[in-house]
Amino acid sequence: MEPVTASLVGSAVLGFKGNMNSAKAARQIGEYNAQMAENEMAVLSKQRSDKEVALRKSSRRLVSSQRTAISKGGVQIKGSPYLALADAYFATERDALKIQYAASAESTAKIAEAAMSRAAGRVKSANYESAAFTTVLGAQSALSKQQLQNDTFALQQEYYKKELGS
């Protein structure tokens, strides 16, 4: 095999392998980023749960101290003291719902982020795979041109031999 042909073939093989490795790496990076987003979603879910538990615990302490204060005053828990306790309870539930809503929004965002990371990885991978096959086709074209030049040169040499020999 002549040096030009060997270099074209070598270049094509290296280009193809390099782009295919890049395609694999792009898929892996997309999957890794997606898994990171899913892990973050799990952490956010745990934090939300902990925050809600802390809110409810704090609310129970508040209601308990309100009951104690009302009872020390000798007031029965009816009417406005009862409404104050109910207000504390409903405020707690409203805050808990806000925490749950925020967590749901964060989870949805992380799910979308994971899906986008996977999709981006697949798109980059497809681009590298296309580049790999384009490299092979480009090398085939270059080899064909090289062969055409070699054939033309051979014909020219043959012609000159005939002309000079006659």
| Residue 67 near residue 85 (C-beta atoms within 8 A) | yes
- Give the alpha-carbon dihedral of 95, 96, 100, 102, to 10 degrees: 20
Distances (CA, A) of 75 to 48, 59, 64, 161: 37, 21, 15, 126
State if pTM tops 0.75: no
Q: What confidence tens digit (pLDDT) does each residue in 139-166 have?
A: 889 888 988 988 899 999 988 888 887 6
Domains and CATH numbers, the chain: 3-165 (1.10.287)
Q: What confidence tens digit (pLDDT) does each residue in 90-138 have?
A: 899 999 999 999 989 999 999 999 999 999 999 999 999 999 999 989 9
Distances (CA, A) of 88 to 58, 60, 84, 145: 11, 9, 6, 84
